[in-house]
Amino acid sequence: MNCTLLNIPNFCSSYYLLGLSKHLRLQYSGKGEFSRFDFRPLAIMEIGGKLVVVDNSDPVGVDAGLLAQADLYFATNKLSDSPNYAHDKIIPLAPHYPVNSASVFLKVFWTRLFGKEGKEVAKELYRLQKRPQFQIEQENRVEGNSLFFAGSIWKKEMEANQLRYSFIKACQKHPGVDFEGGFLPRDDGDNLGFDDALAPRRYPPREFMDLSRKSLFGFNNAAVLGAISWRVAEYLNIGIPIVSLPFRIELPEYPAHGEQIHMIAEIGEIPEFLDFAVANHDYLNKLSKGGKRFFVEHCLPEVQAKRILAYL
């Protein structure tokens, strides 16, 4: 069966194009009415005579016209408490992260390198090549009490910034934790008052993931506008135990607390959990294995693509 792309999605859709390529023959037939969605985190396609949309945007709402046209509309950030997403047609997807699917992208869109969109197509290829190749990662084990966290300071997300700040300060103060990281300084120099929680340096992608692998656990809170962080899927794949504040988006299935993830209700629980974590590596390793199992069962690219196709 063919999957005909009707727009040129940006690198945020790479995970799903990779998954769909394992089940379908991908091809491109751009239509003028969908060109306005080119190079955005939207994949618009025709599969089996139906118009299917995979929306990887931050949760800013959906395009009403596109939603009306679509036979199936999937979203990676369907906010639970937003009227903009209170529509039965919008189907949630499991966690994902952009990957290097440049070969898939090039095979489908190579002719556009010589068209008016050539410069933008080349930019997307460059972005894709900067992302990691997808693979099912080897099993990970928690050893030692190092804990790594490094994240951005978001100009318009003060609540999320404050949660991360509280987490960083709790880690810095805990005598049993060897903490590394902090907020990454903003390029404009305005660190919004969080200067006492800045990381000593920036971490190249490979070092970032190596430090994350060795960490007691990975911390998750809602990202921009309540979106799910790409780190959730990356941590699950690597087998990094996750400690998470409540999700603000809908998921098709949720990882089980105490088995596949450790959920906390509010940030004030972190100091007590740090006490528990340094003394209970067996629990963290159980989360690692359980989270990995959740990833394989629900999040693999081909598994998510199969779920999309099941709705046809």
**67-97 confidence digits (pLDDT tens):** 999 999 999 999 998 999 999 999 999 999 9
* Residues above pLDDT 90, as percent of the chain: 95
Q: Looking at the domain assignment, is residue 267 inside a domain?
A: yes
pTM: 0.95
Whether pLDDT at 184 is above 90 = yes
Answer yes or no: do 162 and 111 share one domain. Answer: no
Question: Which CATH number belongs to the domain containing residue 151 in this structure?
Answer: 3.40.50.2000
Answer yes or no: do 153 and 114 share one domain. Answer: no
Instruction: Tell me the pLDDT tens digit for each residue of 263-295.
Output: 999 999 999 999 999 999 999 999 999 999 999
Q: Looking at the domain assignment, is residue 311 inside a domain?
A: no
What was the pLDDT predicted at 289?
Answer: 97
Instruction: Tell me the pLDDT tens digit for each residue of 219-246.
Output: 999 998 999 999 999 999 999 999 999 9
Whether pLDDT at 13 is above 80 = yes
Backbone angles phi, psi at 72, to 5 degrees: -135, 135
| Strand-pair partners of 55 | 42, 75
Task: Report CA-CA distances (Å) from 156 to 160, 166, 188, 189.
Answer: 9, 18, 14, 15
Mean of all residue pLDDT scores within the chain: 96
Per-residue confidence band for 205, with pLDDT thresholds at 50, 70 and 90: confident
Mean pLDDT, residues 148-177: 96
Answer yes or no: do 10 and 123 share one domain. Answer: yes
What was the pLDDT predicted at 170?
Answer: 98
For residue 6, give the nearest of 40, 15, 242 by alpha carbon: 40
Residue 49 CB partners (closer than 8 Å, separation 6+): none
Whether pLDDT at 177 is above 80 = yes
Per-residue confidence band for 296, with pLDDT thresholds at 50, 70 and 90: very high
Answer yes or no: do 181 and 293 share one domain. Answer: yes
* Residues above pLDDT 70, as percent of the chain: 100
Answer yes or no: do 169 and 69 share one domain. Answer: no
Instruction: Tell me the pLDDT tens digit for each residue of 92-121.
Output: 999 999 999 999 999 999 999 998 899 999
Rounded Cα gap, residues 233 and 11, in angstroms:
16
Answer yes or no: do 288 and 267 share one domain. Answer: yes
Residue 209 CB partners (closer than 8 Å, separation 6+): 132, 234, 238
Domain containing 263: what range? Answer: 146-298
For residue 242, give the nearest of 224, 230, 227, 225 by alpha carbon: 230
What was the pLDDT predicted at 30?
Answer: 81
Q: Looking at the domain assignment, is residue 289 inside a domain?
A: yes
Confirm if 225 and 59 have CB atoms less than 8 A apart. Answer: yes
Whether pLDDT at 31 is above 80 = no
Answer yes or no: do 7 and 108 share one domain. Answer: yes
Whether pLDDT at 32 is above 90 = no
